[in-house]
Amino acid sequence: MIRAKLMISALVVGGFSISPAMAADVQIVAQNPVIELSASERVDSAPDTASFSTGIESKAPTATEALRDNSRKARVMIEKLKSLGIAAKDIQTTGISLSADYDYDNDARQNRFVGYRVSNQVRATVREIDSLGTILDSLVSSGGVTNLNGPYFSIDDDSQLKTLARQRALENARGQALSYAKASGYSDVRLLLISESIHNVSQRPMVAMARMGNASNESVPVAPGQVGTTVSVKVTYEMIR
């Protein structure tokens, strides 16, 4: 006699985790041998959302001057993002840093203190992907930004894709379990346990960026590609006659 615990849970990976809305913790008695296996299914779809990181860096002889100059430039950058159609809720400050700035003195063979460096980084989400290239170019040419990273593509609501991938993964898992059962002289299988993990894969393209301070008037070419939503399940089945 084999005892198995029935537990249905969900875990979202890639920086975020959630607790299951409902979970059953029930002792189930298995009279026959059990099969444990894993199955994954991925569903690809065109993304409808893109995010990128950008920021402003300032240098000045004193920390106060550097921070004030950076704050002024950061406000211009954020207003520029809004003017390009990005909603305030889709603009988030991700980091502000202040550090001493040094230059290497070749004659003295040592670092020489020259002032302070301040950086303000934000993350922006674009919901009209067709405008992404123009937005990136405008930030460089007239937004004053000193760096860009991304873009990272995603699907705003991928619940239907998760459902489809989940169904396919479970069908795949059951098919494998049934094959093992029949090869072992059993006719069917009974599900005992499921655990699940979900992750999204953004096929990030190489974006041709203009050099800072020397941007062209042409929009930056961007190829969104597709985003993959993968559901992986670990299942335990009991083989039955």
| pLDDT exceeds 60 at position 10 | no
8 Å CB contact between 88 and 188: no
Distances in Å between the Cα of 162 and the Cα atoms of 10, 47, 86, 129, 193 are: 12, 14, 27, 22, 19
Q: Which residue has the tokens 């929009």?
A: 219
Confidence of residue 25 (pLDDT cuts 50, 70, 90): low
| pLDDT exceeds 60 at position 34 | yes
| pLDDT exceeds 90 at position 6 | no
pLDDT tens column, 72-112:
999 999 999 999 999 999 999 999 999 999 998 888 888 98
Q: 6 or 201: which carries more pLDDT confidence?
A: 201
| Token pair for 165 | 């991938």
- Look at residue 105 in the predicted model and tell me its pLDDT: 84
pLDDT tens column, 144-198:
899 999 999 999 999 999 999 999 999 999 999 999 999 999 999 999 999 999 8
Q: What percentage of the chain carries pLDDT values higher than 70? A: 81
Q: Which residue has the tokens 């040419």?
A: 141
- Look at residue 229 in the predicted model and tell me its pLDDT: 93
Q: Which residue in 115, 91, 230 sits closest to 164, CA to CA?
A: 230
pLDDT tens column, 40-76:
999 999 999 999 999 999 999 999 999 999 999 999 9
Does residue 221 have a cis peptide bond before it, meaning omega lies within 30 degrees of 0? Answer: no
- State the Cα torsion 69-70-76-81 to the nearest 10°: 170
Q: Is the dihedral of CA 63, 143, 150, 86 positive or negative?
A: positive
- Look at residue 16 in the predicted model and tell me its pLDDT: 38
- Look at residue 220 in the predicted model and tell me its pLDDT: 85
| pLDDT exceeds 70 at position 217 | no
